[in-house]
Structure 1
Amino acid sequence: MRLETGSERLEGSSDSRWRAATPAGAWIESLDDSDVHPLLACYLERREELVRYFRVRLRSEEAAQDLVQDIYLKITPPPAAPIDNPAAYLYRLGTNLMLDRIKTQRRAGQRDAQWRGAGGPSATDWETADEPRADDALAARQRLAQIVAVVNDLPPAVQEAFRLHKLEGLNHAETAAAMGVSRSSVEKYIMTSLKRIVAKVGR
């Protein structure tokens, strides 16, 4: 990859603005091609693509920009071990960062809900009004625990494909990009996981 400099930079692109406006971008532009680690080179080539990808997932331009910046911070300095597929590594890293953020936000929301509910209905109210719903919730939790147990016994690649596709909502192509495998492999992984769940838990 050849880095852009001076008049060769595309005016108005978010990538060029990022390079010009941030110390990280300015530092990268000061390097010769031979000085750039393949992972950093891949990041530069795919930065705008990464922003678009995570903007769809997060439904926020600002959140996507922040996440992609966090990816850069995670790969600087680059890992010492060689990386066979830098693009897949970046997507997987970004996905993990995104999931960490979602989990943090979810925990914060749960704490807020508990706080707001501190003055809620009495125990008697719950017993008289919500007893059937409590039974349904218990059954749902038990079924979920069974599914989790089945998935945890699957091979790692099948587990990851199931998590990305079924839990995080990525389509097959996006899951394949995040994992660095072919789309047909993802389809096979998903089918394997679903067959195992149906066999162990039922439909």
Structure 2
Amino acid sequence: MEGGLETVYHSCRAELLRFLLARTGSAAEAEDILQDIWLRVGQGRSGPVANGRAYLYRVAQNLVLDRLREARRRAVREQGWMEMAAGVDLRHADPADPNADALAQMTEREEVARLASAIANLPAGARRAFQLHKLEGLSHDEVAQRLGISRSGVEKHMAVAMKYLRRALSED
């Protein structure tokens, strides 16, 4: 890490933490982002920095935005799973965020549709275990009880499901 940027980081660390706390509302998340800043700055990917303090605040703001975007994508994905579990026709689903950019909405819908298709094509036992565990939120023990199989059987079904989904989704 550049000596100058490292010094700036240490001198405004508490300030950055307050900045991040105000934007995230979570002390734990603010600390995580602060750690990410330290790691990113420490990798020395940036060239010469004219204003180290402004640079660190820009990195902080970008990381907050990245986390917000990821949370939105995760929410859309989970909503798609819940709709799929409830039997909602995903081809006619409303966009999750009316303010989101049209390309992002289309991409998210395509991802949900690809995932729904891949889940539908899972072997029956793996599909049922996956739905109970991932979509309904049951533990492996609860899935085993519900399906009348051992916990080991559930783990095997989940391994098959995850392997199949990884392969099916990476082919597209």
Q: What is the TM-score with the length of structure 2 in the denominator? A: 0.49
Q: What is the TM-score with the length of structure 1 in the denominator? A: 0.42
